[in-house]
Structure 1
Amino acid sequence: MNTSLRKELIPDVLNLLLGAGLFVSPWVFGFSNETTAGWNAWISGFAIAVLAIAALAMFAEWEEWLALAIGVWVAASPWLVHFSANAIATPLHVIAGMIVAAVAAVRLWYAHGGYPHVTA
């Protein structure tokens, strides 16, 4: 496996770890009894992990668009589904969501050409 291919796998592995971490976070950090925050973490974490596995198998632009949307959802969900008072679940969701969304946005940016090339 060449170095370039390994570098391309890093964002997908990162998203897989974030998805798995988000999935287990209600048990690890003790908010599994808070139904809304727990279910949001389980469903969102599972979706992120599944998309990351699909992206590891074969890159497709739609996977990145879905990851971006789910990342934005996860970051905003404490306020959208009203569990922002939870001092553990809220920052966890915001940080994980922002990282997933940022990784997906960068992958989409590079898929569409990355930096603009200026020719003289």
Structure 2
Amino acid sequence: MDNWTNAKLCDVANLILGAFLFFSPWMFGFGAGAASQNAYIAGIVIAILAIAALAAFAVWEEWLNLIVGLWTLVAPWVLGFQGAKTAMTIHIVVGIAVAVLAAIELWIMSQNPPRLTASR
């Protein structure tokens, strides 16, 4: 039961991080451009994956969250907005946090995989 709770806490944290990333262009004034577009798209994807994981856990959701987190981390250099310090910092911090939380959930599930049958 503790592992289930820890996994759900990671999903809730990812939901909050996704929402924060989505709203960060408005909160910090990124303006239009690659930084804000990436924040909107990556934020929505992270939030949707977190909601899906909260509804019904599947390992593929965590793998996708890990990929999106890593993408968010490297996006400032790939998309060329490393000059926008605030946008870059937010993307790096959220990307690291999402990737770490996804890795933790994958590790938790590898330690105690879900049972497909009832235990006696």
Q: TM-score, normalised by structure 2?
A: 0.88
Give unmatched runs, 5+ long, in structure 2.
113-120
Alignment match, 1:13: 12
Equivalent runs, 1:58-69 vs 2, <5 Å = 58-69=56-67
Pair 1:80–1:29, CA change in 2 (3 A) = same
* Cα distance in 2, alignment partners of residues 7 and 69 from structure 1: 21
Alignment match, 1:106: 104
Pair 1:3–1:112, CA change in 2 (3 A) = closer
Alignment match, 1:118: none
CA drift of 1:7 comes to 3.3
> Structure 2 counterpart of 1:20, which letter?
A
> Structure 1 counterpart of 2:11, which letter?
D
> Structure 2 counterpart of 1:109, which letter?
W
Equivalent runs, 1:1-120 vs 2, <5 Å = 5-31=4-30, 33-113=31-111
Give unmatched runs, 5+ long, in structure 1.
115-120
What RMSD, in angstroms, separates the aligned Cα atoms of the two structures? 1.5
**Higher mean C-alpha displacement, 60-69 vs 33-42:** 33-42
CA drift of 1:3 comes to 6.2
% identity of equivalent residues: 46
> Structure 1 counterpart of 2:23, which letter?
V
> Structure 1 counterpart of 2:84, which letter?
N
* Cα distance in 2, alignment partners of residues 9 and 110 from structure 1: 11
| Bigger relative contact order, structure 1 or 2 (CA pairs below 8 A, ≥6 apart) | 2
